[in-house]
Structure 1
Amino acid sequence: MPRPLVVKVTCGADDPERCNQAFTVAASAAVAGAPVSLWLTGEAAWFGVQGRAEDFALPHATPLADLLATVLAAGTVTVCTQCAVRRGIDEADLRPGVGVAGAAAFAEEVLRDDVQALVY
């Protein structure tokens, strides 16, 4: 089994190529059988909200909503607690399967043995 992958996305529609690349890598790793944890921070926190990923479009890229669904089916998706609060996002706003957690949980994940962490 591949080692676990933690992907932290710090951008959203403000940097669409970098954002889509992070989701693409996370979804590809999930399809390859790696345990994947996708963290949505900064402007990416909006993609944890129901319907927001569907509004994102990048020419010649797999739709963000499809990539997110792939990760949700095989891994975990977490919105940063502080990022959510700063944007007025409540847990009730999130799509099913998306959680909220803070820096301590992120640090715990990336400090486990054999974890690969990527930040976009």
Structure 2
Amino acid sequence: MARSMVIKVTAGMDAPERCNQAFTVAAAAVASGVPVSLWLTGESAWYGLPGRAKEFTLPEATPLSDLLDIVLTGGKVTVCTQCAARRGIGVDDVIEGIRIAGASTFVEEALTDNAQALVY
């Protein structure tokens, strides 16, 4: 059975290298055929909104919007329920294909027999 990855990113522009690394790992895994679930929590929750990933810049890094597009084509992207609520983000606000879900869904995904969970 193939392993899957559950990646939780907590950083945004407050820690751009950490944020970009999480998106890069997720996109690389998707490109390699690995099932990926990318969780946007904390400040990264903003990247679930249209246009926000295009605002992110980091020298020598693949644009965050490109990485997000890769993950959306072959994986799942979720914005944390509480993080979304604290930022006034609703289900109608997020990019098509992104869901809002809570901790119990994260735990369920992270505890599958073949999952590797990473937190950035």
* Amino acid of the structure 2 residue aligned with 1:35: P
How many angstroms does 1:90 deviate by?
1.0
2:90 is the alignment partner of 1:87: no
- Identical-residue share of aligned pairs (%): 64
Unaligned runs of 5+ in 2: none
- Residues of 1 paired with 2:63 and 2:96: CA distance? 18
2:40/2:48 contact within 8 Å kept = yes
CA deviation vs aligned residue, 1:57-100 (integer Å, no higher than 9, x gap): 00000000000000000000000000000001111110111000
Query: 1:7, 1:22 within 8 Å by CA — same for their partners in 2?
Result: yes
Partner of 1:108: 108
Aligned partner of residue 13 in structure 2, secondary structure: coil
| CA contact 2:46–2:52 (8 Å) conserved in 1 | yes
TM-score by length of 1: 0.98
Aligned to 1:78: 78
Match of 1:44 in 2: 44
The aligned residue for residue 23 of structure 1 is: 23
**Partners of 1:98 and 1:115 in 2: how far apart?**
20
2:35 is aligned to 35
Question: What stretches of structure 1 of length at least 5 have no aligned partner?
Answer: none
State the alpha-carbon separation in 1 of the partners of residues 59 and 97 from structure 2: 27
Letter in 1 for 2:50: Q
How many residue pairs match? The answer is 120
Q: Is the 8 A contact 1:2 1:33 kept in 2?
A: no
The 2-side partners of 1:112 and 1:8 are apart by 15
SS in 2 for 1:5: strand
- C-alpha offsets along residues 12-65 of structure 1, whole Å, 9 cap, x if unaligned? 010000000000000000000000000000000000011100100000000000
Q: CA deviation at 1:2?
A: 3.9
